[in-house]
Amino acid sequence: MKRIDAASKAVALATKGFMPEAEGDALYGAACLACDELPGLPMVEVGTYCGRSTVWLGAAAKSKKTVLFTVDHHSGSEENQQGWEWFDESLVDSQTNRLNTLPTFIQTMNQAQLGDVVVPIVAESQLASYQFASEIAFCFIDGGHGKVPTQIDYAGWAPKVAKSGYLAIHDVFIDSRDGGQAPHDFIYRPALDSGKFIEVLSAGSLRVLKRNN
């Protein structure tokens, strides 16, 4: 499996976020494979947060001479809001008193020197998917983890994965005791049940599927 360079990996691991090292490494390898098999097509990440996983994907884009579009409204998913388990007060904008991860994300991209291959789309997932016309070599979905956000992400982005392209999904838990079920129930299972995707990689809670028709 191809490995990310040490400098980029150090930036990824120092960035706020929820991508474990082993899963990030698997994500990088799968993204590189997708770019090798479908040269010239872009990649898309849905759910950017502070850019931790974006570093792994952006480094793959740079290595394979393609572009990564990363989609996020940067005001945090439901589970990132005050009163929830994953709330981080340091990411609250002092002027608006609302969560704003965009400044931290930009700082992360500067540190990783990925500004020439990572294109941030600051928008709701559904709006961005309506406007995105290109087929995708590799799509990584790690946005909001509720029922409605996962349904929106699947409906908007899975159809844009090119034939023989890849759909990666984070936080897929088969057992509800391990974590929330929305990515499993409303992205992972529908993709497999559609008959259009087959699973090719499992690493922790990361699942990578390949489109076969």
Catalytic residues: 145
Rounded to an integer, what distance in angstroms lies between the CA atom of residue 144 and that of residue 77? 5
Q: What is the CA radius of gyration of the chain?
A: 16
Q: Is 207 helix (H, G, I), strand (E, B) or coil?
A: strand
Length of the chain in terms of residues written: 213
Residue 197 and residue 173: Cα distance in Å, rounded?
A: 18
Please state, as a whole number, how many other Cβ atoms lie within 10 Å of the Cβ of residue 133. Answer: 6
User: Which runs of consecutive H residues, i.e. helices, occur in the chain?
Assistant: 6-14, 21-37, 52-63, 102-112, 125-131, 147-157, 182-183, 189-193
Q: Is 175 helix (H, G, I), strand (E, B) or coil?
A: coil
Residue with tokens 């691991």: 13
Positive or negative CA dihedral for 48, 184, 135, 11? positive
